[in-house]
Amino acid sequence: MKKCIAFHSYKGGTGKSTISSNISVLLVKRGYNVLLIDMDVYAPTLQTYFNQNPNYWINNYLFNTADFENVIYDLTHRIRKFHSTKDSQNQWGKLFVSFSNSSKEEITKLDGALRNQASKLELLRKFILIKEEMAYQNSIDYIIIDTSPGIRYWSINSLVIADLILLSLKMDSIDIEGTKKMANEIYSAFTKIGTKCYLLFNRAAGYCYPPNLVQETSYSPAANYELIINEQLNITDKFKRDVDMEIIGNIPCYCDIQFDNKEFLTVLKHPYHPFTHLLNDLVDKIERI
Ligand SMILES: Nc1ncnc2c1ncn2[C@@H]1O[C@H](COP(=O)(O)OP(=O)(O)O)[C@@H](O)[C@H]1O
Ligand SMILES: [Mg+2]
């Protein structure tokens, strides 16, 4: 296996699920076999995102009620229809997804098991074994983990097994302060043990596309856009001074994605969208790390 990548954030709504799903398929397009795991156990979304009705969940694996191969779903067929003749020379990899159960009972069960030391340890042992299970069984190249925001048990565990952590933020005031604190207090420990950690700005406040057209003086969309980007870069710069982490990407808020009835794999539906462009740049960097 090449890498296990965790998408994390301080707050929700920073684009973890959107970006982890889109990045997963871009890696598949490059010929890699990818396993995407929904570890946002308190608010899972990948089941809805991929419109699936699984019989087995990652919860079953963790509680020993199913083997690992039963809780991963090969969804390569779901993305095959986007395989154009232009791509036909390239061999696509496979996309496997493991879902987290969103029923109230299962979430409570997972939370409850953490109150008992023995069951907590057993859950942790099973979770750590995922990397080994995948490396042997399916020749997986990348494991992508969509985590819970903040510093809850399952997000920390996800960060522990990751080789690369991408911490996404939106740049509103609560997000900035929380992210700074988390980066300085938690991430520094991961960096010490060799985990690579990067900041990923996404849906940054004020950095919108199409640009915000409100202008104090005369109207000039181009000048206004410049102004907004400069403003955003200023904030990014200030942020960098307080946090010892490199920035791996800066993705604007695209209205068409934000207000899409159901965003689904924009990188496949719209291969020439600037979002796709930026995510491809991100995948280039991920491959090089
Ligand atoms: N760059 C972006 N531009 C516009 N909308 C985005 C962008 N990234 C994510 N979104 C939208 O923001 C919302 C929250 O994203 P999501 O991936 O669910 O966040 P999280 O998993 O961190 O809670 C979704 O509606 C998603 O489509
Ligand atoms: Mg999510």
Residues 150-172: tens digit of each pLDDT: 999 999 999 999 999 999 998 77
Residue 151's alpha-carbon distances to 40, 183, 281, in angstroms, are 12, 11, 28
For atom 26 of ligand 1, which residue has the closest CA?
A: 258
Contact 239, 250 (CB under 8 A): no
User: What would the two tokens of residue 275 be?
Assistant: 């979002």
For atom 2 of ligand 1, which residue has the closest CA?
A: 253
Closest-lying ligand 1 atom to the alpha carbon of residue 9: 22
Which comes out higher in pLDDT, residue 41 or 226? Answer: 41
For atom 15 of ligand 1, which residue has the closest CA?
A: 15
The Å distance, Cα 16 to ligand 2 centre, comes to 5
Q: Give 87's pLDDT tier (boundaries 50, 70, 90).
A: low
Mean per-residue pLDDT for 202-219? 65
Q: Give 208's pLDDT tier (boundaries 50, 70, 90).
A: confident
Total structural domains within the chain? 1
Q: Considering Cα of 190, then 191, then 195, then 198, what sign does the dihedral take? A: positive
Contact 188, 244 (CB under 8 A): yes
- Residue 18 Cβ inside 6 Å of ligand 1? The answer reads yes
User: What is the predicted pLDDT for the residue at 31?
Assistant: 94
Percentage of the residues of the chain whose pLDDT score is greater than 90: 68
pLDDT of 207 strictly over 80: no
Element (DSSP H or E) covering residue 265: none
Percentage of the residues of the chain whose pLDDT score is greater than 70: 89
User: What is the predicted pLDDT for the residue at 175?
Assistant: 86
The Å distance, Cα 93 to ligand 1 centre, comes to 25
Q: At a CB cut-off of 8 Å and minimum separation 6, what does 156 contact? A: 186
Contact 173, 207 (CB under 8 A): no
Q: Which of 11-25, 101-115, 167-181, 261-275 has the lowest mean pLDDT?
A: 167-181
Query: In angstroms, rounded to a whole number, what is the distance separating the alpha carbons of residues 77 and 173?
Result: 41
Which comes out higher in pLDDT, residue 146 or 238? Answer: 146
- Residue 150 Cβ inside 6 Å of ligand 1? The answer reads no
Mean per-residue pLDDT for 257-267? 91
The Å distance, Cα 189 to ligand 1 centre, comes to 28
User: What would the two tokens of residue 65 be?
Assistant: 């009620």
The Å distance, Cα 222 to ligand 2 centre, comes to 33
Closest-lying ligand 1 atom to the alpha carbon of residue 260: 27
Strands 34-39 and 95-98: parallel
pLDDT of 212 strictly over 70: no
Q: Give 267's pLDDT tier (boundaries 50, 70, 90).
A: very high
Query: In angstroms, rounded to a whole number, what is the distance separating the alpha carbons of residues 2 and 100?
Result: 24
Nearest residue to 33 (alpha-carbon basis) of 110, 125, 97, 113: 97
User: What is the predicted pLDDT for the residue at 78?
Assistant: 92
User: What is the predicted pLDDT for the residue at 234?
Assistant: 75
For a mutational test of ligand 1's pocket, the pick from 38, 257, 277, i.e. the residue with the most ligand atoms closer than 8 A to its C-beta, is 257
pTM: 0.93
Backbone dihedral angles phi then psi of residue 153, each to the nearest 5 degrees:
-50, -50
CATH number for the domain including 176? Answer: 3.40.50.300
The Å distance, Cα 185 to ligand 1 centre, comes to 26
Mean per-residue pLDDT for 254-281? 92
- Residue 257 Cβ inside 6 Å of ligand 1? The answer reads yes
User: What is the predicted pLDDT for the residue at 130?
Assistant: 92
Q: At a CB cut-off of 8 Å and minimum separation 6, what does 278 contact? A: 249, 251
Q: To which residue do tokens 């696509």 refer?
A: 92
Residue span of the structural domain in which 128 resides: 3-288
Query: In angstroms, rounded to a whole number, what is the distance separating the alpha carbons of residues 271 and 149?
Result: 29
pLDDT of 84 strictly over 80: no
User: What is the predicted pLDDT for the residue at 82?
Assistant: 84
Strands 142-147 and 34-39: parallel
pLDDT tens profile 98-149: 999 999 999 999 999 999 999 999 999 999 999 888 766 668 999 999 999 9
The Å distance, Cα 254 to ligand 1 centre, comes to 10
User: What is the predicted pLDDT for the residue at 86?
Assistant: 67
Amino acid at 44: P
- Residue 14 Cβ inside 6 Å of ligand 1? The answer reads yes
- Residue 175 Cβ inside 6 Å of ligand 1? The answer reads no
- Residue 12 Cβ inside 6 Å of ligand 1? The answer reads yes
User: What would the two tokens of residue 146 be?
Assistant: 């969509």
DSSP code at position 97: E
Strands 73-74 and 95-98: antiparallel
Any idea how long the chain is?
289
For atom 14 of ligand 1, which residue has the closest CA?
A: 13
- Residue 8 Cβ inside 6 Å of ligand 1? The answer reads no
Mean per-residue pLDDT for 27-32? 95
End-to-end CA distance of the chain: 14
For atom 11 of ligand 1, which residue has the closest CA?
A: 258
